[in-house]
Amino acid sequence: MTKKRVTLLDVAKHAGVSRATASLIVRGSPNITEKTRQKVLKSMRELGYVYDRVAANMRSQSPSTVGLIITDVANPFFSELLIGVHNALEETGLIEFLGTTFDSDAKQERLISTMLEHRVGGIILCPVSNTSPETIERIKNLDIPIVHAVRELPSIDCDYVGIDYTAGTQLATKHLIQKGHRRISFLGGSSSSSAWKERLEGYSKAFQHTGLEVDESLIVESSVTRQGGIDAVRKVLFQKNPPTATVCFNDLVALGVMQGLRDANLIPGEDMAIVGFDNVHEASLYNPPLTTVSSFARLIGSQAANLLQQRISDQSREQQRIILQPELVVRSST
Amino acid sequence: MTKKRVTLLDVAKHAGVSRATASLIVRGSPNITEKTRQKVLKSMRELGYVYDRVAANMRSQSPSTVGLIITDVANPFFSELLIGVHNALEETGLIEFLGTTFDSDAKQERLISTMLEHRVGGIILCPVSNTSPETIERIKNLDIPIVHAVRELPSIDCDYVGIDYTAGTQLATKHLIQKGHRRISFLGGSSSSSAWKERLEGYSKAFQHTGLEVDESLIVESSVTRQGGIDAVRKVLFQKNPPTATVCFNDLVALGVMQGLRDANLIPGEDMAIVGFDNVHEASLYNPPLTTVSSFARLIGSQAANLLQQRISDQSREQQRIILQPELVVRSST
DNA sequence: CTGAAAGCGCTTACAG
DNA sequence: CTGAAAGCGCTTACAG
């Protein structure tokens, strides 16, 4: 038994103006006398009018929504990114649909479809690590703006915002080497993602620059979760020549590594130095406070939102790649 | 230079059928011969047709979106709830707009407005703790379905899903009393929220049942974050008669409490027993693993989504309140 | 500022 | 199954 929706025409009649005038007012046109404006706004309040952006945008063919597809809401890196996107979008009147893939290609497929059917004006995509060729092909044929964030798909040309992972882990690894460590493991993440490859490259580079050799047995993949960190550290801890330090795929993994060490009665930061990646808000609250590489999640989010808006308003503009430079944040875990 | 959107009429022409037929097919009508169906589906693929749910729902006056308003994405409780909502909605073709209030009434206001203008079919609202009377009045006048979750607004009648907080903290407090504790603090949360009041009631009840008295100086409010926990535990730790155990507003606060203890060179679980609330996925990974009360976040989410759907399809149906019964999960922090 | 018409991409509700 | 018409709530693009 919903009441019938109040339309602009109802408002116009109530205020004694034309529908065209009322339409100009809701869109904030300047060339309407203040007096009529007030009169119409008053009618809107009295009738309880709610502007229908969906109808408006359908007619004007301008989008009112964008899609944001991330891998995991529970990962603080992504919740920060989400906030960055939201804040940047807030002022523009755009609203975002959120989708979470949990790194599943099938889910990513479905989310993209659903969002397209809902007429999003564009999509910010943090692609799953093993995005299938079919999905890539499909994305390519999409005639709607798309911005990639965090991870880049090698075969796709489009706007991208990410950080220089290679520089980041290089920074982290160098820091450990300077502290005197020689056996340094690299824990967590999946080798199929570009984000992993780039990080590993930084790790390797740091070794090369010091003339040291990388020991492959110290490189362990895992899921990008706390549990993944626990699992990964176990695999290196019981080798005959265990590492004295570790670079982690991200802070979440680092947290797991700390846990895994404690489970083995070792003290994180003392028995093994640990560097994370992301500088998650809570990294300073870890025990011990975590040395990590800041990846500016919120900034990535707001930059991606900005790129998307620009792309929406001008499809033909030049492609942009924004690569943020990471910073090492030294705390007591190293 | 976007290509023109392919419409149902384009598809119909291409397949040599009428628009009405094509429309029946996208909506999955059964009384179409398989042969024409295949023919039309083929045309859709060839033309790259994307169904426009926005237009469809506008015409049929049935909603395709719902709003979900939570307090904090970074809180694992809410990210679980979010997943619950998403999963339940996925099958129905509804898609959700996510809004985060950070417990600000102004933000909540703005989010509700934006969602209404985007024609959501309903809203799942986890209201901010100090929701203003104006907002409440406005929500009342809303003629769209709304379901409250997690927190209840006392002056509003509507569908609600939450858990029995009173029973939860009572369980937690009783457990500590049975373990021999007498000085038990209650840390975190804001006394203006119903969720806090109910929890405190459970805490008090447990004392009453054992003939013990509550010491008001052991009840400390804080923000519902890890930092809040650190701050709160400090305030009780340096009293002349500090508590030997604590019930925390939630797991996030409990994590902060552990940290605060360590900062004071105390061992969580040994020098002070700790019970959390929520049974966040990571609670079992805390150090020490956290005794906590399970609040079934994901289930709350899916139940809220179900209630909302039912309410959308039948506005006049009887109001529902679903109160889940919490369970104590004992681990080594107590 | 007004007024009347057309259109965004669909569905509805017919008669055939 | 077809075909033509009307409508969801707006905006567009006029002539006045």
Q: Which residues touch strand C (CB under 7 A)?
A: A 16-21, 32-33, 35-37, 55, 58-59, 61; B 4-5, 7-9, 19-20, 23, 26-27, 49-52, 55-56, 58-60
Band the pLDDT of A1: cuts 50, 70, 90: very low
Has residue B47 got a pLDDT over 60?
yes
Among A287, A313, A314, the strongest candidate for a mutation testing the B interface, having the largest count of B CBs within 10 A, is A287
Band the pLDDT of A74: cuts 50, 70, 90: confident
Q: What percent of chain A clears pLDDT 90, i.e. is strictly above it?
A: 69
Read off the pLDDT of each residue in A45-60 and give the average, rounded to a whole number.
92
Band the pLDDT of A2: cuts 50, 70, 90: very low
CA atoms within 13 A on the CB side of A47: 21
Q: Do A52 and B117 lie within an 8 Å CB cutoff?
A: yes
How far apart CA B202 and CA A137 sit, in angstroms, is 57
CA distance A118 to chain B (A): 6
The two structure tokens encoding residue A263: 């489970």
Chain A CB within 8 Å of residue B114 CB: yes
Has residue A132 got a pLDDT over 90?
no
A residues 308..327 contacting B (CB < 8 A): 315-316
In strand D, which positions have an atom below 7 A from any protein CB?
Answer: 1-5, 7-14
How far apart CA B200 and CA B208 sit, in angstroms, is 12
Q: Could you identify the residue written with the tokens 């930059």?
A: A303
Domains in chain A (CATH in brackets) are 8-51 (1.10.260.40), 63-163+298-324 (3.40.50.2300), 165-294 (3.40.50.2300)
So what's the pLDDT on residue B244?
97
C1’ D11 / CA A282, Å = 48
Q: For residue B141, which residues of chain A lie inside 8 Å, CB to CB?
A: 48
Band the pLDDT of B30: cuts 50, 70, 90: confident
C1’ D10 / CA A9, Å = 10
Sheet of A273-275, strands arranged across: A219-220, A184-187, A245-248, A273-275
In strand C, which positions have an atom below 7 A from any protein CB?
Answer: 1-5, 7-14
How far apart are the two ends of chain A, measured CA to CA in Å? 64
Has residue B1 got a pLDDT over 70?
no
Read off the pLDDT of each residue in A183-199 and give the average, rounded to a whole number.
93
Read off the pLDDT of each residue in B295-307 and give the average, rounded to a whole number.
95
DSSP assignment letter at B264: T
Read off the pLDDT of each residue in B62-74 and give the average, rounded to a whole number.
92
- List pLDDT tens digits, range A177-188: 999 999 999 999
A residues 226..245 contacting B (CB < 8 A): 226-227, 230
Q: Do B2 and A50 lie within an 8 Å CB cutoff?
A: no
Among A27, A61, A68, A73, the strongest candidate for a mutation testing the B interface, having the largest count of B CBs within 10 A, is A73
Q: What residue has its CA nearest to the C1' of D3?
A: B18
DSSP assignment letter at B221: -
So what's the pLDDT on residue B3?
58
CA distance A225 to chain B (A): 10
- List pLDDT tens digits, range A285-333: 788 899 999 999 999 999 999 999 999 888 888 999 999 999 999 999 9
Chain A CB within 8 Å of residue B96 CB: yes
The CA-based diameter of chain A, rounded to the nearest angstrom, is 87
* Three-state DSSP string of chain A: CCCCCCCHHHHHHHHCCCHHHHHHHHCCCCCCCHHHHHHHHHHHHHHCCCCCHHHHHHHHCCCCEEEEEECCCCCHHHHHHHHHHHHHHHCCCCEEEEEECCCCHHHHHHHHHHHHHCCCCCEEECCCCCCCHHHHHHHHHCCCCEEEECCCCCCCCCEEEEECHHHHHHHHHHHHHHCCCCCEEEECECCCCHHHHHHHHHHHHHHHHCCCCCCHHHEECECCCHHHHHHHHHHHHCCCCCCCEEEECCHHHHHHHHHHHHHCCCCECCCEEEECCECCHHHHHCCCCCEEEECCHHHHHHHHHHHHHHHHHCCCCCCCEEEECCEEECCCCC
